[in-house]
Chains A and B, each alone.
Chain A
Amino acid sequence: MQQVKNDEAFVAFERVQKSYDGETLVVKDLNLTIPKGEFLTLLGPSGSGKTTCLMMLAGFETATHGDIRLDGVSVNNIPPHKRGIGMVFQNYALFPHMTVGENLSFPLEVRKMGKSEREAKVKRALDMVQMGDFAARRPAQMSGGQQQRVALARALVFEPELVLMDEPLGALDKQLRETLQFEITNLAHQLGITVVYVTHDQTEALTMSDRVAVFNDGRIQQLATPDDLYERPQNSFVAQFIGENNTLTGVVQDISDKSCTVRLDSGDVIDAVPVNVSAVGDRTKVSIRPERVEIDKTRLQPGAHTLKAEVLEFIYMGDIFRTRLRVAGMDDFVIKTRNAPDQVRLTPGTKIDIGWLAQDCRALDA
């Protein structure tokens, strides 16, 4: 067995496949390395294979093929309780027949730790999540947010180096979720632990993670930092899945290294950055973020292509204005403008010209 200590590949999936029924692969050829101390999020729609990956790492599912390494050691044949991985579940999974203190004490007891040491660690872990006064409570006597804090403390109390979280905030309301997102990331960085976090909430993924792996159809579609993921999606799935996005379809008309022009199905021509188109004539989906669309012609590069648009709907959202336009024959083109004192409020029926910087418009796979 290879015994290489490798902080760059603390967790490693090598060519991992998983099938439940022997017919279809839920996880297809997964290769992923996670360096020590990283907060990595597995993001994807339900059924994309992200939870399966987490369960394989935790040891509750076995990989059909491939190797999973933890700190250089293959864990394929190590039962879950010997992996020393902390885990937080969506439904908290706090043992209802034990008090909070007993719940936290449990992993220490099974590790045969002395009573005084246990008590000290339980107290420290509870203080860490601001639940120090709740040691004598039962899980049923606490709110969801409090339970999840305790569950977090329980996953951390035995000082694992790797903590897995399976949609831990899914059952909480928005405000609580945001507070806890912040607390979890802070704790993770403070303790220097490696976290693998599963969620289907892209905002959560973007705000919490060092890197995000976007899953779809059993594969990682893109593994990147949040800003890369948002601003430089590698394919149309990622572009669609992360944030709001306008998509126009067309054919590559002209292509060079750094730029290309695309003739849309409506006949209009626009500028774009080629991402995964390679030759003239390729069909492509062009992706542009609503907030990068410019309605003020003067701010565009000279000679940039513009499109004619008609305002269909204006929605006041407080901090921003959301305007729906008809562009190139499509009714669902959305732009977002900041609610600034000098910002124009477009009234439905107005005809305008829109454009964008070429680098904000990405020509992706069709």
Chain B
Amino acid sequence: MAEQMMAADGRTLKSSLNRALRRQKLRALLLITPLLLFILITFVVPIGQMLFRSVENQIVGDTIPRTVEALADWDAATDPVPDEDVFRAFAADMMVAVEERVHTRLGSRLNYETAGISSQFRRSGRDVEDMGEDLTAQFTALDPAWADPATWVALMADPDWIADSATAQTEPAFVVADAARDALPRTADIYADFARVTQVANNDSPTEEQPWNVVYIALYQDLIANPAPQIAGAPDGLLGAAGAAAAGFVAPDIRAAFVDSDAGWGSTVTWQTIQTYSPAYTSSYFLNSIDLKQTPDGIEMAPENQQIYVKLFIRTLIMSLTIMVSCILLGYPVAWMLANLPSRQANLMLILVLLPFWTSLLVRTSAWKVLLQQQGVINDLLVWVGLVADESRLTMINNSTGTIIAMTHILLPFMILPLYSVMKTIPPSYLRAAKSLGATNWTAFWRVYFPQSVPGIGAGSILVFILSIGYYITPEIVGGTSGIFISNRIAYHISSSLNWGLAAALGTILLAVVLALYWAYDRIVGIDNVKLGG
């Protein structure tokens, strides 16, 4: 075994060296910290959150927790429509959601999966308040005290809360008594929500508001389950009388009320959708991104007229490749010339290459629109020369041709610059040597010059390809319908349809494809073989 080298102070040489280097490393880290933080805060975290939306589905469980719980045991095969219990739970959830104004958001979410649900939520959101009012009337007829908010507070409130609110300037957050929870679990649960919404969303006090109808429904359910609940300190006889009378009340038919409000609640599909999408995480966005659909019967292909994403992904890949190849073909000779001109002329040419960067992207793209349209400059020229008949002018814009032409032009500098900087490092003596060894101009180029320029092609190709695969503005302006990219669809879901989950899933897939291609490139060509210069 090799003896460890010792430094003068008796430590091993290695640890001594590490100590010396640590300061340097620390300083280097300190120098990049601002950028690191900036990127972390403005880039990594938001993108991570955005991508997380592609699997996140907590909205269903958060908005209608009671329904989700009640639906767990429901089996559509034996029971086409869920029973009254589910509808009562749903009414309670809806009431809370309506008061907090989140029911339409859930409607939109479920609408991605089953069209039409959104309007059901909106419509029933208006009606849910009145559901079960007959029952409430029966309670108040039995004893008018049931209409009095004070009765409810006396029943539900924690004694400490009552004491606190008597002394406090502003009313503290309502606390339900444990005794109430034990005796009337359902009622206590929904009353807690009622008190919270009243205090927070409506800026009111439960001591002054009569509870919602759904609270009475819960009370009815609790009294049916346990006709003689005991709550210490409750008004005398109130609960007992209600418990005795409840069995004789006309049971509320919430299912009928919902179906009456919107027939959609009576259909199996609605409830299947809610049941299928109740878990907190879902693969449905990803399935939708590749034209699949999660149904209660398993994963199926989306209807033919909705299958667009796979086609779009393939089109994006093929068009990006086409743009990349066009850039190589157009850029290579230019880069070669730049690298072989005397530096004065080369600098001038380089400025011409970079000139497009100084013009707005929108201006350049719009210019292509002017040039390429049917009554545009190029068509006019072709007609004038006689190459094209006036009635059969070429369609070069608002399709994939337009996208390829405009994007090749816009991305060309990204190909020329790395090519140029690599070619600049290839000494002319290689070509001379090859010729002196008997190679023709072509052989000398192909066998000697070209292989040495491959790292430049690699760098340029990766740049152009990755830029174009995520390009958005140009296809949006000149792409029409056949020339748009997946990124345009992502933008649509982000800003128009607001289906961020799907946008995130599409974006994640795009990112994965790019990383996979990068990996493949590394395996086949080797990433060391990419040079941006030197």
Question: Which residues of A are at the interface with B, using a C-beta cutoff of 8 A?
Answer: 58-60, 79-87, 89, 91, 93, 95-97, 106-107, 110-111, 154-155, 158, 164
Is the Cβ of B432 less than 8 Å from the Cβ of A107?
Answer: no
Q: How far is the CB of B93 from chain A (nearest CB, A)?
A: 69
Q: With A and B bound together, what is the CA distance between A81 and B452 in angstroms?
A: 21
Is the Cβ of A89 less than 8 Å from the Cβ of B438?
Answer: no
Among the interface residues B433, B448, B452, which one has the most CB atoms of the partner chain A within 10 A? B433
Chain A residues in 8 Å Cβ range of B438: 81-82, 84, 107, 110-111, 158
Is the Cβ of A97 less than 8 Å from the Cβ of B436?
Answer: no
Q: With A and B bound together, what is the CA distance between A158 and B435 in angstroms?
A: 13
Chain B residues in 8 Å Cβ range of A164: 436
Chain B residues in 8 Å Cβ range of A84: 438
Among the interface residues A58, A81, A91, A97, which one has the most CB atoms of the partner chain B within 10 A? A81
Q: Say whether B378 faces chain A, with CB atoms less than 8 Å apart.
A: no
Is the Cβ of A80 less than 8 Å from the Cβ of B452?
Answer: no
Q: Say whether B427 faces chain A, with CB atoms less than 8 Å apart.
A: yes
6 further interface pairs, Cβ-Cβ under 8 Å (given A81-B436, A83-B436) = A60-B435, A79-B441, A93-B429, A93-B430, A93-B432, A154-B437
Q: With A and B bound together, what is the CA distance between A93 and B426 in angstroms?
A: 10
Q: Say whether B443 faces chain A, with CB atoms less than 8 Å apart.
A: yes
Chain A residues in 8 Å Cβ range of B427: 91, 93
- The chain B residue sitting closest to A96, CB to CB, is B452
Known contacts A91-B429, A93-B427, A97-B451; A85/B439 CB under 8 A: no
Q: How far is the CB of B416 from chain A (nearest CB, A)?
A: 22
Is the Cβ of A81 less than 8 Å from the Cβ of B439?
Answer: yes
Q: How far is the CB of B17 from chain A (nearest CB, A)?
A: 29
Question: Which residues of B are at the interface with A, using a C-beta cutoff of 8 A?
Answer: 427, 429-430, 432-441, 443-444, 447-448, 451-452
Chain A residues in 8 Å Cβ range of B448: 95
Is the Cβ of B439 less than 8 Å from the Cβ of A106?
Answer: yes
Is the Cβ of A85 less than 8 Å from the Cβ of B436?
Answer: yes
Is the Cβ of A110 less than 8 Å from the Cβ of B451?
Answer: no
Q: How far is the CB of B335 from chain A (nearest CB, A)?
A: 18
Q: How far is the CB of A283 from chain B (nearest CB, A)?
A: 43
Q: With A and B bound together, what is the CA distance between A111 and B440 in angstroms?
A: 10
Q: How far is the CB of A354 from chain B (nearest CB, A)?
A: 50
Q: How far is the CB of A92 from chain B (nearest CB, A)?
A: 9
Is the Cβ of B440 less than 8 Å from the Cβ of A81?
Answer: yes
Chain B residues in 8 Å Cβ range of A60: 432, 435
- Can you identify 20 A-B contacts, CB atoms within 8 angstroms? A58-B432, A60-B432, A81-B437, A81-B439, A81-B440, A85-B436, A86-B437, A87-B433, A89-B432, A93-B429, A93-B430, A93-B432, A95-B434, A106-B434, A106-B447, A107-B438, A107-B439, A110-B438, A110-B440, A158-B437
Of the residues B429, B433, B437, B452, contact of A110 by C-beta under 8 Å = B437
- The chain B residue sitting closest to A151, CB to CB, is B433
Q: With A and B bound together, what is the CA distance between A243 and B440 in angstroms?
A: 43
Q: How far is the CB of B253 from chain A (nearest CB, A)?
A: 83
Q: How far is the CB of A167 from chain B (nearest CB, A)?
A: 12
- The chain B residue sitting closest to A166, CB to CB, is B429
Is the Cβ of B436 less than 8 Å from the Cβ of A87?
Answer: yes
Q: With A and B bound together, what is the CA distance between A164 and B429 in angstroms?
A: 14
- The chain A residue sitting closest to B448, CB to CB, is A95
Q: How far is the CB of A196 from chain B (nearest CB, A)?
A: 13
Chain A residues in 8 Å Cβ range of B447: 106
Q: With A and B bound together, what is the CA distance between A59 and B444 in angstroms?
A: 15
Is the Cβ of B452 less than 8 Å from the Cβ of A97?
Answer: yes
Is the Cβ of A93 less than 8 Å from the Cβ of B451?
Answer: no
Is the Cβ of A89 less than 8 Å from the Cβ of B437?
Answer: no
Q: With A and B bound together, what is the CA distance between A111 and B438 in angstroms?
A: 7
4 A-B pairs with least C-beta separation: A107-B437, A93-B433, A87-B436, A93-B429
Q: How far is the CB of B420 from chain A (nearest CB, A)?
A: 19
Chain A residues in 8 Å Cβ range of B452: 95-97
Q: How far is the CB of B346 from chain A (nearest CB, A)?
A: 18
Is the Cβ of A86 less than 8 Å from the Cβ of B434?
Answer: no
Q: With A and B bound together, what is the CA distance between A81 and B444 in angstroms?
A: 10
Chain A residues in 8 Å Cβ range of B430: 93, 95
Chain B residues in 8 Å Cβ range of A87: 432-433, 436-437
Chain B residues in 8 Å Cβ range of A59: 435
Q: How far is the CB of B424 from chain A (nearest CB, A)?
A: 15
Is the Cβ of B429 less than 8 Å from the Cβ of A81?
Answer: no
Is the Cβ of A89 less than 8 Å from the Cβ of B433?
Answer: yes
Q: With A and B bound together, what is the CA distance between A86 and B433 in angstroms?
A: 9
Known contacts A95-B448, A110-B443; A80/B429 CB under 8 A: no
Q: With A and B bound together, what is the CA distance between A85 and B448 in angstroms?
A: 18
Chain A residues in 8 Å Cβ range of B444: 81
Q: With A and B bound together, what is the CA distance between A155 and B444 in angstroms?
A: 15
Q: With A and B bound together, what is the CA distance between A194 and B448 in angstroms?
A: 27
Q: With A and B bound together, what is the CA distance between A344 and B451 in angstroms?
A: 65
Q: With A and B bound together, what is the CA distance between A111 and B439 in angstroms?
A: 8
Is the Cβ of A80 less than 8 Å from the Cβ of B436?
Answer: yes
Q: How far is the CB of B291 from chain A (nearest CB, A)?
A: 45
Chain B residues in 8 Å Cβ range of A79: 435, 441
Q: With A and B bound together, what is the CA distance between A271 and B436 in angstroms?
A: 52
Chain A residues in 8 Å Cβ range of B440: 81, 110
Q: With A and B bound together, what is the CA distance between A338 and B485 in angstroms?
A: 86
